[in-house]
Chain A
Amino acid sequence: MATEEYWRWTESRWTAPDKDWSKAEIVSAGVDVGSVSTQAVIMVDGELYAYSSRRTGSNSPESAQRALDWALDGTGLKLDDIRFTVGTGYGRVNVPFANKTITEIACHARGANYMYGPTVRTILDMGGQDCKAIRCDERGKVSAFLMNDKCAAGTGRGMEVIAGLLAVQVTEVGELSLQVDREPPPVSSTCVVFAKNEATGLLREGWPKSRVLAAYCAAMAQRVATLLRRLGVEEDFAITGGIAKNIGVVKRIEDDLGIKALTPDFDTQIAGGLGAALFARDLAVKARQAA
């Protein structure tokens, strides 16, 4: 393992301070096993109760278990108390305790609908290894989407590569990229590997790190804005995923599109897991009615 882990972002866990699960009718869970991070979300009667967000390890079933254990930690809840669990994300077939799997597109839209409210019509999910632009209705049902999962440009992995090159923590890239007097022209290379070479050249020309990061964040924003334009952007607009925490990219996407993204009250990485937990509750209710 590298000694300098510039990619390392903050793992998090949260429990609702004023909720008591023991009086609940249905406890449901959603687990989103992404390529870079895994989230476990627990809901009590359709209300957010607890969540955790951790780095995905090399073993997907273990990562799912670790995320769930951490979300349950200190709540008194046990796996048996959860009525229904939905797995989603890139590694969704590897959630051993899931009752069902649902695609991350459906889960992200549903989760964003809860996180940002029913006025959200366009969601940009910027994940570790892919980027999705999703349109949805007032119930969070997907009406159209576009996705890039072939190329690292515009994904978290791409940002990690550049952060590593500049020896800047990936969580500090956004703030640092805004510390420029004037916006530089965006990095012209699409490919992350070529962009890295280009950034090396800019450093050699004497550019400060902040300016190089500004040029890279701008290129990333440009790329995802193109994806959004192809899909068509309808407000309200929200950004989810790890890159939603990078103010340098978010601000430049807003400037490029000429619209503001809604400000989240929750960790932006939990949208997929939250959507999965909401679907899990629906399925638990349906199962009970059928019984």
Chain B
Amino acid sequence: MITAGIDAGNQTVKAVILKDGAILGHSIAFVGADTEASAQQALDEALKMAGLSRDEVGKVFSTGAGRKLVSFVAGNATETTCDARGAVWLLPATRTVIDVGAEEGRAVRCDAQGKVTDFSVNEKCGAGSGTFTEAMARALEVSLEDFGQMSLGSQQNIQMNAQCVVFAESEVVSLIHAQTPKEDIARAVHDAIADRITSLTHMVGMEKEVALIGGVARNPGFVDALRRSLGCDISVPDDPQIVGALGAALMAAG
């Protein structure tokens, strides 16, 4: 059986093609003005990678903030459900999934079957999502890739006072003016967001093993900060951004 999952996030759409327990294709596309068109594009690219045509795919399920804006699917499931399902499928020992995306942060506790037992979400405040690191990288005038790496070279532990993205931008500018090394600012930013994600995780009660997924999981500065903040090791799958879409493809398979 071949199924597909589409995760229509706030910034990117992810698609995964699944056949009998193997990922045949996956893709990531930026969300344009039209979510449906972006979802179609992501699916087409994943099909191309899998070397399949649309007719060969059975059910397609959607998830993500824009899951109801995708009309060509057989069904949809919440991000929480799909995150747990996808993470446990990839890393079976996972009992807590942390998903940090462009505009949301989520902690999900689940059982050995990948069924959700508890969860907690922040979607109101940009300071607990990728928006925060993106804005701070911009304030430092470095690419998001460099920003994460830079953080690992920090020699000194400093603390951010501001919580809000808007206020933190001004604080970062002040730190630059005060000649604070960029590495130390980068680490302070990652520590700040990691602390917020840790609070969110403790709200659901953390159980090991812990998996980190979502776009921000690609940022080594954040991964390092979260390990220190949680005080335990965390696993990051190879393609952390597509785990939600994988979960949707698994849901489509039944």
State the A residues within 8 Å of B (CB): 58, 129, 150-152, 157-158, 161, 189-194, 197, 201, 204
Q: Which of A129, A150, A190, A193 contacts B131 (CB under 8 A)?
A: A193
In the complex, which residues of chain A have a beta carbon less than 8 angstroms from the beta carbon of B6? none
CB distance from A128 to the nearest CB of B (A): 10
Q: Which of A58, A189, A191, A201 contacts B165 (CB under 8 A)?
A: A191
| Count, chain B residues at interface, CB 8 A | 15
CB of A193 within 8 A of CB of B126, answer yes
CB of B167 within 8 A of CB of A152, answer yes
CB of B166 within 8 A of CB of A150, answer no
CB of A194 within 8 A of CB of B103, answer yes
Number of A-B residue pairs having CB atoms within 8 Å of each other in the complex: 40
In the complex, which residues of chain A have a beta carbon less than 8 angstroms from the beta carbon of B125? 151, 190-191
Q: Which of A58, A129, A151, A204 contacts B33 (CB under 8 A)?
A: A204
CB of A158 within 8 A of CB of B174, answer no
In the complex, which residues of chain B have a beta carbon less than 8 angstroms from the beta carbon of A194? 103, 126, 131
**Looking across the interface, which residue of chain A has its beta carbon closest to that of B132?**
A193
Q: Which of A150, A189, A204 contacts B164 (CB under 8 A)?
A: A150
CB of A152 within 8 A of CB of B164, answer yes
In the complex, which residues of chain A have a beta carbon less than 8 angstroms from the beta carbon of B54? none
In the complex, which residues of chain A have a beta carbon less than 8 angstroms from the beta carbon of B165? 152, 191-193
Docked pose: A189 CA to B131 CA in angstroms: 14
In the complex, which residues of chain A have a beta carbon less than 8 angstroms from the beta carbon of B124? 189-191
In the complex, which residues of chain B have a beta carbon less than 8 angstroms from the beta carbon of A192? 126, 164-166
In the complex, which residues of chain A have a beta carbon less than 8 angstroms from the beta carbon of B103? 194, 197
In the complex, which residues of chain A have a beta carbon less than 8 angstroms from the beta carbon of B24? none
CB distance from B34 to the nearest CB of A (A): 11
In the complex, which residues of chain B have a beta carbon less than 8 angstroms from the beta carbon of A151? 125, 163-164
**Looking across the interface, which residue of chain A has its beta carbon closest to that of B122?**
A191
| Contacts A/B (CB < 8 Å), 17 sampled | A150-B163, A151-B163, A151-B164, A152-B164, A152-B165, A158-B166, A161-B166, A191-B125, A191-B126, A191-B127, A191-B131, A192-B164, A192-B166, A193-B131, A193-B165, A197-B103, A201-B33
CB distance from A190 to the nearest CB of B (A): 5
Contact residues of B between 90 and 115, Cβ < 8 Å to A: 103
CB of A152 within 8 A of CB of B166, answer yes
CB of A193 within 8 A of CB of B167, answer no
CB distance from B128 to the nearest CB of A (A): 10
